[in-house]
């Protein structure tokens, strides 16, 4: 019998503190209108001092577990996507496992920057399809606000904090139809965040904050995401019109609109959370997916295209029959 991974639960968490474009324009030379016109962002959430990637992941994960109606102890595998882990090690996945009071399962992190949730979903799909796991929890959790240089107007306007979760279970009916993930390390200098301790120890004078050549990233992102749409549809022998929903990584409305145009989709079929969340890196796709599932926009049986692009560069997609 053919095995598929099916979504049985979703969850999401956003910290309470809201930082608006007006707040940022008091720190750096920018304005609400510049930020909104160039990015589509108005506000983003900022984690409290006591919060961590694992603490936020726990809240999102518990919601997904509750929606699925299972016990946490039934989970075989936890994959956390994060670029802002609590510690270098142990992994945030292990910390989350302990917080969920699970003793037996395997837990680890994936680091694929903003594409992390898609990479996690792809790994989960392989584990389920191969029979190596039955129930897999994937979480994207990020405290981007602690990696941002709040004096750099080219980056601090973009990012926010949050966590999203999806619980997948093996089934014999199509769920995840295909995943496609890619990496090209040749673009390291366009978007990176040094590990400050390692940089200092090796004599480099680099701050442990996000460094980005935004305009160049923008152009590669638009082209790359166009190609991943074609690859995904071709692999499934589907037409653009077969896709009911686009759930994109939330980096910039103009990048998202370009992908929607490629799919000949109206923006009404695109799940947008960017305006009030900013770019939450590996959490963004799962947060958007959770929102549209919970408010009833995404319905059982519909075809949903998830896609993301991030540092590395990394990029990928997941086509799901929800």
Instruction: Select 28 or 303, whichever has its Cβ closest to ligand COA.
Output: 28
Three-state helix/strand/coil letters over 113-137: HHHHHHHHHHHHHHHHHHCCCCEEE
**Residue 249 annotated in active site:** yes
Q: Which of 114, 144, 156, 193 is catalytic?
A: 114
d(CA 96, CA 232): 32
- Closest approach, Cβ 127 to ligand COA, in A, equals 26
- Closest approach, Cβ 274 to ligand COA, in A, equals 10
Instruction: Select 187 or 322, whichever has its Cβ closest to ligand COA.
Output: 187
- Closest approach, Cβ 267 to ligand COA, in A, equals 18
Q: Which of 94, 144, 193, 249 is catalytic?
A: 249
Chain residues binding ligand COA by CB under 6 A are 30, 34-35, 38-39, 114, 153-154, 157, 212, 214-215, 217-218, 221, 251-252, 279, 309-310
Instruction: Select 105 or 217, whichever has its Cβ closest to ligand COA.
Output: 217
**Residue 114 annotated in active site:** yes
d(CA 216, CA 210): 15
Q: Which of 21, 252, 279, 290 is catalytic?
A: 279
Token pair, residue 178, equals 């295909």
- Closest approach, Cβ 187 to ligand COA, in A, equals 11
Instruction: Select 5 or 256, whichever has its Cβ closest to ligand COA.
Output: 256
Coil, strand, or helix at residue 309? strand
Q: Where are the beta strands (DSSP E) in the chain?
A: 4-13, 17-20, 43-46, 77-81, 106-110, 135-143, 161-171, 176-183, 191-192, 211-212, 245-248, 303-310, 314-321
CA dihedral 250, 140, 144, 281 (to 10 degrees): -30
Helices (H) and strands (E) in the chain, counts: 10, 13
- Closest approach, Cβ 283 to ligand COA, in A, equals 12
Residue number with the smallest Cβ distance to ligand COA: 214
d(CA 312, CA 190): 9
Instruction: Select 107 or 112, whichever has its Cβ closest to ligand COA.
Output: 112
d(CA 84, CA 68): 27
d(CA 248, CA 228): 12
Could you say which DSSP state residue 29 is in? S
List active site positions: 114, 249, 279
């Amino acid at each position: 019998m053919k095995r598929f991974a099916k979504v049985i639960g979703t969850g999401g968490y956003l910290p309470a503190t809201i930082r608006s474009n007006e707040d940022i324009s008091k720190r750096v030379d920018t304005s609400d209108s510049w930020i909104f016109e160039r990015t589509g962002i108005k506000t983003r959430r900022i984690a409290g001092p006591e919060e961590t990637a694992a603490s936020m992941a726990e809240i999102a994960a518990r919601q997904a577990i509750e929606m699925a109606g299972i016990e946490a102890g039934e989970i075989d595998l936890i994959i956390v996507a994060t670029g802002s882990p609590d510690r270098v090690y142990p992994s945030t996945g292990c910390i989350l496992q302990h917080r969920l009071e699970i003793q037996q399962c395997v837990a680890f992190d994936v680091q694929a920057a903003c594409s992390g949730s898609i990479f996690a979903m792809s790994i989960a799909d392989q584990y389920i399809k191969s029979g190596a796991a039955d129930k897999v929890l994937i979480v994207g959790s990020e405290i981007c606000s602690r990696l941002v240089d709040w004096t750099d107007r080219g980056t601090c306007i973009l990012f926010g904090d949050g966590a999203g979760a999806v619980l997948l279970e093996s089934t014999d009916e199509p769920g995840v139809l295909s995943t496609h993930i890619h990496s090209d390390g040749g673009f390291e200098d366009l978007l990176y965040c040094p590990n400050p301790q390692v940089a200092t120890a090796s004599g480099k004078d680099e701050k442990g904050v996000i460094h980005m050549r935004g305009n160049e990233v923008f152009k590669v992102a638009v082209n790359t995401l166009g190609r991943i749409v074609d690859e995904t549809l071709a692999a499934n022998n589907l037409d653009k019109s077969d896709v009911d929903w686009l759930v994109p990584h939330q980096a910039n409305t103009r990048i998202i609109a370009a992908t929607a145009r490629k799919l000949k989709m109206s923006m009404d079929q695109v799940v947008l959370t960017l305006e009030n969340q900013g770019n939450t890196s590996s959490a963004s796709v799962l947060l958007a997916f959770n929102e549209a599932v919970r408010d009833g926009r995404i319905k059982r049986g519909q075809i949903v295209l998830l896609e993301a692009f991030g540092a590395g560069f990394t990029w990928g997609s997941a086509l799901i029959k929800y």
